[in-house]
Amino acid sequence: MESILLFIYLIASITFILGLKMLSNPKSARKGNTVAALGMGLAIIGTIVLYTNDSGEHLGNHIWILCGLMIGGVIGTMSAKKVQMTAMPQMVSLFNGMGGACAALISIIEFKHLVHDFKPELYAGGGYTYFSTLDGASLLVIMAGLIIGTVSFTGSMIAWAKLDGRLNDYAFNGQHIVNMLMLGITVALTGMILFLRPEETITFFYAVLALAFVYGILFVLPIGGADMPVVISLLNSFTGIAAACGGFLYDNSAMLTGGILVGAAGTLLTVLMCNAMNRSLLNVLIGSFGASAQGGQNTGMQGTYKEMSISDASVLMSYSSKVVIVPGYGLAVAQAQHACHELEKLLTEKGVEVTYAIHPVAGRMPGHMNVLLAEADVPYEKLKEMEEINDEFPSVDAVLILGANDVVNPAAKTDPSSPIYGMPILDVELAKHVIVNKRSMKPGYAGIENELFFRPKTSMLFGDSKKVLQDLIAEIKNL
Q: Which residues are annotated as catalytic?
A: 406
469-474 long-range contacts, Cβ below 8 Å, gap at least 24? 469/336, 469/339, 469/340, 469/342, 469/343, 469/402, 470/339, 471/310, 472/310, 472/313, 472/314, 472/317, 472/343, 473/339, 473/342, 473/343, 473/346
Question: Residue type at 386?
Answer: M
Exposure string over 101-129, b if 16+ CB within 10 A, otherwise e: bbbbbbbbebbeebeeebeeeebeeeeeb
Q: Alpha helices of 199-324 — where are they, by DSSP H?
A: 202-220, 228-249, 253-277, 281-285, 310-318
Residues 227, 445: Cα–Cα separation, whole Å: 10
What's the count of helices (H) and strands (E) in the chain, helices before strands? 17, 6
Q: Alpha helices of 397-451 — where are they, by DSSP H?
A: 411-414
User: Dihedrals φ, ψ of 37, to 5°?
Assistant: -65, -40
3-state secondary structure of 91: helix
Q: Which helix (H) or strand (E) holds 148?
A: helix 131-163
Neighbour tally for 66: CB within 10 Å: 11
> Nearest Cα to 479, choosing from 344, 322, 323, 314?
314
